[in-house]
Amino acid sequence: MINDKSKRILSKETPEFIGKKVLLKGWVKARRDHGKLIFLDLRDRSGLVQLVVNPKVSEDGYKVAQEIRPEFVVEATGVVKNRSESTINKDLETGAVEVGVSSIIVLSKAQPLPFDMGVEELKLELPTLLDYRALTLRHPKISSIFEVQEALVEGFRNASKKLGCREIVVPTIVASATEGGSGLFEIEYYDHKAFLAQSPQLYKQMMVTVFERVWTIAHAYRAEPSVTTRHLTETTQMDCEIGFVDFRELLDMFEEIAVSMLKHVEESCGNILKKFKMEKIAFGKIPRLTVRETQEIILKEFGRDNRKEKDLAPQDEVDICKWAKEKHKSDLVTITHFPTMAKPFYTMPDPRNPEYSLSYDMLFRGIEIMSGSQRIHDYQQLIESLKKRKLNLKKFEMYLQAFKYGMPPEGGFSFGLERVTMKTLDLKNIREASLFPRDMERVDERFSSIG
Ligand code: AMO
């Protein structure tokens, strides 16, 4: 291994440099003083490594280390050594080595922390965890949630591209609601009213006439009227929209994307899933049920008669997933044919029974993570559907052009990134799956604590 001592190496690489002098840079996660020695856990983007500061090796370094507190940013030079058998830390990737410091420089100081960040697990109440987000995100267990999130995005992107979808970027300032009138954030737009998009829906559909198959990752805004553990007001949606497909093909496509996205996360983040004590995801054949069939199962197996409800209640989602896991060894379930009038205007009614629609949700470990539908692609039928919901046609003029001038049969779907992340790691609250979650009570600061 060639070692240019003036070049920084990462903590993870230290085992490759035993006996060599190296330069490391990072944050001090914890400091422990043992007799005449100071131990520093150094964190960088690759992980952690232990530094040992011995006054006999470096008197100046020892003086500096005495002033160091958690989260100081430092630059340290030293020789990598094997640890003695009894001091090996098996839980740490670099736990068989340590770095004997010959010099250390403070690049940036940190004020005393409001809580101990050196612990294995930050056992703080969620509001505190979020009040100090810029700090708590640094904790390795918390930052690993977002490594998993990155792998989910990557898995989704790979699978969408494999399907032949092209990536598009769409606006979030829009003229109208798409997912129903409530839950819309209105914004002042010069002398006009505009809204924050509830979904990339209209744009992805228009783009089918350009590229046939598209995917996008978009921010979506929902003025949720209540506080729950599964709703955010700003969410990230991973969407596809596909032309020249029928309902069955759409089901095959989103199931394929879901499976390959989740397999990708298991392959690339196995160590993190283990740390979160997650069971392997069950990839049995995914059951496909209509809403009505689901409600029959809920009645038969769980004794609740919800057959007149338009949608599944949260407990129904939990129970049908339990059923799917037991009977089909699947953590995923597909639910189809929601009542047409409970779905947005663009949803295609089932020609065999128009009271129900060619729509679907996908559930994962007890929660809806995705929804979509085959769309109405006929111009006149779409206008009728807008009118039926008393929507203002003028607001949809540009969207309607796509249909006026030739739209193929098409459909699409949208995965909620935070929901998938939450369930992949069994987090109790969706806020933990968002870097900077927005909800009714918080946009970074808690509203109650501002002025
Ligand atoms: P829908 O409104 O069902 O469909 O949203 C798609 C997916 O996005 C996630 N999601 C949310 N996650 C957290 N907080 C919220 N407030 C929230 N709202 C939605 C869910 C959901 O399954 N345009 C259609 C999709 C389509 O037909 O292509 C749409 O937006 O995981």
> 149-192 pLDDT, tens per residue?
999 999 999 999 999 999 999 999 998 877 776 689 999 999 99
Considering the entire predicted model, what is its pTM? 0.96
Q: How far is the CA of 151 from the centre of ligand 1 (A)?
A: 20
| Ligand 1 touching residue 237 (CB < 6 A) | yes
Instruction: Give 9's pLDDT tier (boundaries 50, 70, 90).
Output: very high
Q: How far is the CA of 440 from the centre of ligand 1 (A)?
A: 17
d(CA 332, CA 318): 11
Return the pLDDT at 4: 65
Instruction: Give 225's pLDDT tier (boundaries 50, 70, 90).
Output: confident
| Ligand 1 touching residue 372 (CB < 6 A) | yes
**For ligand 1, atom 14, which residue shows the shortest CA distance?**
231
The CATH number assigned to the domain with range 11-108 reads 2.40.50.140
**Interval 83-115: pLDDT, tens:** 999 999 998 999 999 999 999 999 999 999 999
Measured from the Cα of 368, ligand 1's closest atom is 22
List the 332-336 sheet strands across, edge first: 166-167, 213-221, 234-243, 410-416, 367-374, 359-364, 332-336, 288-290
No. of helices (H) and no. of strands (E), the chain: 12, 21
Measured from the Cα of 198, ligand 1's closest atom is 30
Catalytic-role residue among 371, 385, 414, 434:
371
Start-end ranges of CATH 3.30.930.10 in the chain? Answer: 130-449
**Interval 348-384: pLDDT, tens:** 999 999 999 999 999 999 999 999 999 999 999 999 9
130-449 belongs to CATH 3.30.930.10 = yes
Catalytic annotation present for 355: no
Closest CA to 81 of 55, 102, 60: 102
| Ligand 1 touching residue 413 (CB < 6 A) | yes
| Ligand 1 touching residue 232 (CB < 6 A) | yes
| Ligand 1 touching residue 369 (CB < 6 A) | yes
User: Which amino acid, one-letter code, is at 305?
Assistant: D
Closest CA to 104 of 155, 32, 55: 55
Catalytic annotation present for 224: yes
Return the pLDDT at 224: 85
Catalytic annotation present for 231: yes
Rounded mean pLDDT, 208-229: 95
| Ligand 1 touching residue 235 (CB < 6 A) | yes
Residues 6 or more apart whose CB falls under 8 angstroms from that of 84 comprise none
**For ligand 1, atom 1, which residue shows the shortest CA distance?**
371
Measured from the Cα of 370, ligand 1's closest atom is 22
Q: How far is the CA of 266 from the centre of ligand 1 (A)?
A: 24
Q: How far is the CA of 124 from the centre of ligand 1 (A)?
A: 29
Strand partners, 290: 336
Q: Among 178, 226, 237, 360, which is best to mutate for testing ligand 1, by the most ligand atoms less than 8 A from CB?
A: 237
Measured from the Cα of 367, ligand 1's closest atom is 31
Q: Which helix (DSSP H) or strand (DSSP E) does residue 368 occupy?
A: strand 367-374
Return the pLDDT at 249: 98
Return the pLDDT at 176: 83
Provide the 10 A C-beta neighbour count for residue 34.
Answer: 8
| Ligand 1 touching residue 418 (CB < 6 A) | yes
Q: What are phi and psi of 49, to 5 degrees?
A: -145, 150
Catalytic-role residue among 368, 410, 418, 432:
368
| Ligand 1 touching residue 317 (CB < 6 A) | no
| Residue 3 pLDDT > 60 | no
Residues 6 or more apart whose CB falls under 8 angstroms from that of 417 comprise 149, 152, 153, 217, 235, 236, 237, 238, 433
Provide the 10 A C-beta neighbour count for residue 393.
Answer: 12
Rounded mean pLDDT, 235-263: 98
Return mean pLDDT, the chain: 95
Q: How far is the CA of 146 from the centre of ligand 1 (A)?
A: 20
| Ligand 1 touching residue 222 (CB < 6 A) | yes
Q: How far is the CA of 147 from the centre of ligand 1 (A)?
A: 22
Catalytic-role residue among 31, 419, 431, 442:
419
Catalytic annotation present for 368: yes
| Residue 451 pLDDT > 90 | no
Q: Are 413 and 240 in contact (CB under 8 A)?
A: yes
| Ligand 1 touching residue 412 (CB < 6 A) | yes
| Ligand 1 touching residue 201 (CB < 6 A) | yes
Return the pLDDT at 179: 78
**For ligand 1, atom 16, which residue shows the shortest CA distance?**
231
